[in-house]
Amino acid sequence: MIARAPFGRTGRESPRTIFGAAALSRTSQADADAALELLLARGVDHLDAAASYGDAELRIAPWLAREGRDRFFVATKTGRRSYAEARDEIRRSLERLGTDRLDLLQLHNLVAADEWEAAFARDGALRAAVEARSAGLVRFIGVTGHGVAAPLRHIQSLERYPFDSVLFPYNFTQTRDARYAADVEELIALCERRGVAMQTIKAITLGPWRGQRPATPTTWYEPLREQADIDLAVRWVLGRPGLFLNTVGDLGLLPKVLDAASRGGPRPSDEEMTALVERAAMTPFFV
């Protein structure tokens, strides 16, 4: 079983490895159901979807109906920036998931300056999220971000609104960039002071695709594939107290990530990770 920890100040204990439902974007219900069995066997009951993840919300809906809504902590995201568009997308997500409430609604990839300003405006997406929470449709509100600007933008977001969670890229190669590492440390320190849950993505990134991107794996970065390499990458993330790891966007690699998280172990040293970087020719995905 995968270890659990408090998910920020929400009062919820979540598995430290959260299911990234982007893996369900273009899969059959049968394959999705097989993934559910694997998740439940490992104790993973925190599901992280998004309106933009293809069929993911539709694939999760039968799980909630069959297993019981209260068995899961259900998160999704809206990428809309205006009040009306975000309001409508939140309602659509509820319908697609077949539920009357979300445990966590996140403003998706809120990093670009113009989008950030729009979301925080009087008629912006944040207003829709807060309104949904007041109506009992949403319990908690978070913000996510991709790219090297995400940590600093999250810091700015937390100064504007008391978000319950953040999500940002975190792996060894990305943090070899001293500036990015410093931004991440500043964000982590702020989140620790305020009890904000910290989710991380891109744990097993090898680097950008070299050459034409193949049909599989379905990740938009080239991933590590060997179990021993994945073990090191996963242990490096989970070796940092307080962080949660969102799983890979490919069902074929999901068992390896869950196996690594289940086994646990001490955080690899910088020397071990540097050896992995050199052996696998790893490079940062975001520059």
Mean pLDDT of the chain: 97
- The pLDDT of residue 214 is 87
pLDDT per residue as tens digits for the range 255-271: 999 999 999 999 999 99
Mean pLDDT of 153-181: 98
**Burial letters 195-226, b for 16+ CB under 10 A, else e:** ebbbbbbbbbbbbeeeeeeeeebbbebbbbee
Mean pLDDT of 179-207: 98
Residue recorded with tokens 């190669």: 173
Mean pLDDT of 32-52: 98
For residue 20, what are the β-bridge partners? 48
pLDDT per residue as tens digits for the range 132-146: 999 999 999 999 999
Alpha helix positions (H), the chain: 29-41, 56-67, 83-97, 113-120, 125-134, 150-160, 178-194, 227-238, 254-263, 270-280
- The pLDDT of residue 211 is 83
Instruction: Flag the least confident range among 16-25, 83-92, 95-104, 215-224.
Output: 215-224
Structurally, at CATH architecture level, domain 4-280 sits in Alpha-Beta Barrel (3.20)
Q: What residue segments make up the domains of the chain, in order of their start?
A: 4-280
